């Protein structure tokens, strides 16, 4: 793979470990040499590093497989998943591997498990999820100095900013990539 083909979401193999490209930016330096600046995350350890790729670099795309699964629960630093077609086949990922995606996972949420050498190493979740608001302070109609938002707690324990009209027990849609409120779902 050429260094210019590295894009966000690409999974590459560096020294036998799979890395996911989080950000990339292409720049051309003096005398026509180009460099691809990237931020990459090790899918085994969760560590994020910055790395530059040059035209002479040989970049190997990681041989990964994806499998549909369901999130069961999280306990004591471990997240338990089950294969979608056979819930008896369960496997565990550490909370470090799942990362902040855990804030959007509730019981029976469909996910995609990323396998490297037939071993689960990471999880991919839907871009938008629906979550119930469990705690919401009353919205004060006269208070517009805050931009018309308030902090609520979702059923997963995540706290986030939402518009003043969102009430307790309502279902809202959340963008998992940005962590922002999208819309209130119909009752």
Q: 157-170, pLDDT tens digit by residue? A: 889 988 888 888 89
pLDDT of 13-68, one tens digit each? 888 888 888 888 888 877 767 888 889 888 777 788 898 888 888 888 888 888 89
At 122, which helix (H) or strand (E)?
strand 119-124
Whole-prediction pTM: 0.69
Mean pLDDT computed over every residue of the chain: 84
Nearest alpha carbon to residue 67 among 16, 107, 121: 121
For each of the domains in the chain, give its residue range(s) and CATH number, in order of start.
3-61 (2.30.30.30), 64-124 (2.40.50.140), 128-184 (2.40.50.140)
Q: Is residue 84 a contact partner of residue 69, using CB atoms and an 8 Å limit?
A: yes
């Amino acid at each position: 793979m050429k260094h210019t083909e590295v894009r966000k979401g690409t999974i590459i193999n560096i020294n036998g470990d799979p890395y996911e490209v989080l950000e990339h930016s292409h720049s051309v330096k003096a005398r026509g040499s180009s460099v691809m600046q990237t931020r990459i995350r090790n899918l085994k350890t969760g560590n994020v590093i910055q790395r530059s790729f040059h035209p002479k670099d040989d970049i190997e795309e990681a041989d990964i497989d994806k499998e549909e699964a369901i999130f069961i629960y999280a306990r004591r630093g471990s997240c338990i998943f089950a294969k979608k077609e056979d819930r008896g086949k369960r496997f565990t990922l550490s909370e470090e591997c799942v990362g902040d995606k855990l804030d959007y996972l509730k019981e029976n949420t469909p996910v995609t498990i990323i396998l490297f050498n037939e071993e689960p190493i990471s999880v991919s979740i839907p871009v938008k999820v629906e979550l119930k608001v469990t705690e919401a302070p009353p919205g004060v109609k006269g208070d517009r100095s805050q931009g018309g938002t308030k902090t609520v707690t979702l059923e997963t324990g995540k706290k986030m900013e939402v518009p003043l009209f969102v009430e307790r027990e309502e279902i809202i849609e959340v963008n998992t990539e940005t962590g922002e409120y999208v819309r209130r779902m119909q009752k």
